[in-house]
Amino acid sequence: MKISIGIATLCLASAIFTHVGLAQDQTQPPANPLDVIPAKIPFDTPYGAPIPLARAQALVQAAMAEATKRGWPMNVAVSDSGGNLLAFARMDGAVLAAAAISQHKAQAAVTFRRPTKVYEDALQKPNLNYLLTLDGIIASRGGIPLIENGKVIGGIGCSGGTSSQDEAICAAAVTTLNK
């Protein structure tokens, strides 16, 4: 009898430790990033006066000069601070579909006050695929807001290459914004 009570106790203890061990092995799923409440609104750059046409055209020219230097035919668009197309050029040989894409990138950069790369990165993370339900999102690099004196004055969008090529051309043009 003592042996069977001992065996029963041993089996019960073993079952408890096994259950506790299983519970400890199970990891908690990561917290949903959408449940985080930031202290400040992200990308809260205010809108400013629209970029003038001459400066928008100069940005298009700067982007095309960089694209030409690299041998990448591009479509380049600049939107004003209201998201309206202000300047556009399609280089010889640039893919036709990319004309609308460059304009969409410029508009999204203004509308959401952030580079379109933010959405490309976000779609790589769990729980952020809801972004695809938002109107005007484009999850591809190559759209950059134009910020001057702490205000969004427009956006530039480039398309025709890979998203990293598009972004490089936009970034090169943005460096000329205040020159």
Query: What are the tens digits of pLDDT across the range 138-179?
Result: 999 999 999 999 999 999 999 999 999 999 999 999 999 977
Do the domain assignments include residue 179?
Answer: no
CB 61 within 8 A of CB 177: no
Q: What is the pTM of this model?
A: 0.78
164 and 86 both lie in a single domain: yes
On whether both 71 and 10 belong to a single domain, the answer is: no
Find residue 59's DSSP bridge partners.
none
Count of domains for the chain? 2
If asked whether residues 58 and 17 sit together in one domain, one would say no
CA 83 to chain centre: 17
The pLDDT assigned to 11 comes to 46
CB 74 within 8 A of CB 161: yes
On whether residue 10 sits in a domain, the answer given is yes
Residues in the chain: 179
Residue 48 lies in a domain: no
End-to-end C-alpha distance for the chain, whole angstroms = 94
Tell me the three-class secondary structure of 20-33, residue by residue: HHHHHHCCCCCCCH
Specify if 80 maps to a domain: yes
Q: Are residues 93 and 31 in the same domain?
A: no
What pLDDT digit, counting tens, does each position of 19-53 carry? Answer: 444 444 456 655 676 677 888 888 889 999 999 99
Signed CA dihedral, 129, 136, 112, 103: sign only? positive
Residue of 115, 100, 105, 116 lying closest to 79 (CA atoms): 105
- 31 and 61 belong to one structural domain: no
| Residue 11 and residue 70 in one domain | no
Boundaries of domain holding 8: 2-35
